[in-house]
Amino acid sequence: MELRSARWYAGRDRDAYIHRAWMRRGAPGDAFDRPQVAIANTASDLTPCNSHLTEVARSVRTGVHEAGGVALELPVVSLGETQVRPTAMLWRNLAAMAAEELLRANPVDGVVLLGGCDKTIPALLMAAASVDLPAVVVPGGPMLTGTFRGVPLGCGTDVWRLSEEVRAGTLSAEQFTRSESAMIRSRGHCNTMGTASTMALVAEALGVVVPGVAGTPAPDSRLLEAAHETGRLAVSLIAADRRPSSFLTAGSFRNAIVALAAIGGSTNAVVHLLAIAGRLGIELTIDDFDRVGSRVPVLVDLLPAGRFLMEDLHRAGGLLAVLREVRDLLDPDALTVTGRPLVDYLDDAPTWDPEVIRPRAAPLVAEGGIAMLRGNLAPRGALIKPAAASPGLLRHRGRAVVFDSVEDFRARVDDPDLDVDADSVLVLRGCGPRGYPGMPEVANMPLPRKLLEQGVRDMVRVCDGRMSGTAYGTVVLHVTPEAAAGGPLALVRTGDVVVLDVAARRIDVEVSDAELARRTPDAAAVAGFADPRRGWERLYVDHVLQADTGADLDFLLGSSGSVVGRESH
């Protein structure tokens, strides 16, 4: 087999000389005849959830060398979900594009992808799909459970809960601050069923992680063992020419959707899976999530929908034990990166704690998944996660209280004179991919203080943005088209009646088509839409697609493969 890297290194001409000589630096001559395995590493001090990946990379490296390959660590664009403004999602496509281009431009034959924090695994998978080199993911793993005043804290979820307690006056600001170091107890990503946990598990269900590895806690020595073995596997992937396009099928994505529902995963997985499928040319629509996922029971009792945390899920048997319960719903032919079907791994996947991983007969929620809504408020769709919502609000009629931007929301939400009650529907616009820009996680709007003080803990909220996977509430999100892309969300006015009917999959405003057609977008809303002058934001706003197809850039759909035609000299 001729290696791709041989197109750089083989031969006696001047160009091969240049490629070899600058890389040699102590390497034996035969290093250039061996498989070159990139380790795409998202470790960064500013992505604290991934900072331990440099140690994980060392184990991958050992495995690559043992199997006869050469390991080459490649730092790639890294995104710390809690750090970057205005939202890490603004740079998911940039990270994907940069990783894709770097993998293509360099003499590598395959890649081990190291990610963890929310956007990092999706970006790496988008890149791997578009460059289509043999690739395998090692998820960095969740944090250990921290406790505060004797009670476990779930990353993210308990921030929302505790901050609402402060606003409601039942927790002091000092105690709130003291909980910080308990919230983040160890290395690793958020330990709730947020986006990072979800995407690691969903990647395993897709088949791009060695089965059984996702969810291994970041500080657990078994993660290094898995990284070591994955390094060995990467070399054999190159020999087998097992590329993402050769084993990722529509069936793989159906398995991912079943997994997403059974774990009660983050709504963010919808945009990420759509984007990855878009790179592979696989027809996947928002309706597939509803059709395949919405009747699947939620079996995993983790925050934010349930009680436990990722360390508990791992102890209880992990994803494979969950999937064994829904084996009949899985595509038996969908292969994993190891070359074996996913379902092959389910024979020996016991559940050790049926409180954490519920049996199919006693689910946490009978019908989980994510419901896709349509209506005159969201002609191309919106979604809601019923398991994270209040059952009593899944069918609701209420007066809209409209906010034109997050700034407008923050300025007015706690105003004692705000005309709002528990039945009102909070509407926030200008938070889509184009409008913000980057589609931030603001859809789970904090409730008005005066209602919190009355004991109100949930309200119907509607937004064209996303919400954190660690959040909860009756939130209709990803409204498409977004207000800034001409969606009717821009036409809603305070006082209009909004009707949510999850069973009927509807989200509507009780305004006639004729009246909607007469209205023009509210000037205050339009003023809030992003209009960047230059740079990435300009490129992004000009080219980003809507949430219903994964919010990728229009020119990044599909694959370019790994061939580079021209030399550098």
Which of Mg ion, ligand FES, none is residue 62 near (CB under 5 to 8 Å by kind)? none
Q: How far apart are CA 106 and CA 112, in angstroms?
A: 14
H or E stretch at 18:
helix 14-24
Minimum separation from the CB atom of position 163 to Mg ion (A): 16
H or E stretch at 92:
helix 92-105
Site string for ligand FES, 196-215 (x = CB under 6 A): x-------------------
User: Of residues 60, 96, 190, 442, which one binds ligand FES by CB under 6 A?
Assistant: 190
Contacts of Mg ion in 2-41 (CB under 5 A): none
364 binds ligand FES (CB under 6 A): no
Minimum separation from the CB atom of position 238 to ligand FES (A): 30
49 binds ligand FES (CB under 6 A): yes
H or E stretch at 137:
strand 135-139
C-alpha to C-alpha distances, 206 to 244, 289, 345, 436, nearest whole angstrom: 10, 14, 13, 31
β-strands 460-463, 135-139: how paired?
A: unpaired
Contacts of ligand FES in 79-138 (CB under 6 A): 81-82, 117-118
Of residues 197 and 252, the one with the C-beta less far from ligand FES: 197
| Contact region with Mg ion (CB under 5 A), list: 112-120, 282-290, 337-345, 408-416 | 112-120
Of residues 189 and 242, the one with the C-beta less far from ligand FES: 189
Q: Confirm if 525 and 428 have CB atoms less than 8 A apart.
A: no
475 binds Mg ion (CB under 5 A): no
Greatest pairwise CA separation for the chain in angstroms: 80
Minimum separation from the CB atom of position 441 to Mg ion (A): 5
81 binds Mg ion (CB under 5 A): yes
Minimum separation from the CB atom of position 82 to ligand FES (A): 5
Q: Confirm if 189 and 49 have CB atoms less than 8 A apart.
A: yes
Q: Which two tokens stand for residue 55?
A: 């140690």
Across the beta sheet with 70-75, what order do the strands follow?
Answer: 70-75, 36-41, 110-115, 135-139
User: Of residues 100, 109, 118, 229, which one binds Mg ion by CB under 5 A?
Assistant: 118
Which of Mg ion, ligand FES, none is residue 468 near (CB under 5 to 8 Å by kind)? Mg ion
Minimum separation from the CB atom of position 122 to ligand FES (A): 12
| Contact region with ligand FES (CB under 6 A), list: 188-196, 205-213, 248-256, 518-526 | 188-196
Q: How far apart are CA 151 and CA 454, in angstroms?
A: 26
| Contact region with ligand FES (CB under 6 A), list: 171-179, 190-198, 433-441, 447-455 | 190-198
| Contact region with ligand FES (CB under 6 A), list: 175-183, 189-197, 325-333, 542-550 | 189-197
H or E stretch at 129:
helix 120-131
Site string for Mg ion, 193-232 (x = CB under 5 A): --x-------------------------------------
Minimum separation from the CB atom of position 540 to ligand FES (A): 22
Q: How far apart are CA 495 and CA 424, in angstroms?
A: 9
Q: How far apart are CA 312 and CA 217, in angstroms?
A: 10
Contacts of ligand FES in 474-503 (CB under 6 A): none
Of residues 463 and 499, the one with the C-beta less far from Mg ion: 463
Residue with the two structure tokens 């309706």: 287
Q: How far apart are CA 373 and CA 287, in angstroms?
A: 9
Give the number of C-alpha atoms closer than 13 A to the C-alpha of residue 196, restricted to the C-beta side.
34
Q: How far apart are CA 76 and CA 124, in angstroms?
A: 9
Of residues 190 and 343, the one with the C-beta less far from ligand FES: 190
What type of residue sits at position 106? N
Minimum separation from the CB atom of position 154 to ligand FES (A): 11
Give the number of C-alpha atoms closer than 13 A to the C-alpha of residue 298, restricted to the C-beta side.
22
**What is the gyration radius of the CA atoms in the chain, in angstroms?**
24
143 binds ligand FES (CB under 6 A): no
Q: What SS3 state is found at 36?
A: strand
- In the complex, the residues that contact ligand FES under the rule CB under 6 A are 49, 81-82, 117-118, 155-156, 189-190, 194, 196
- In the complex, the residues that contact Mg ion under the rule CB under 5 A are 81, 118, 195, 468
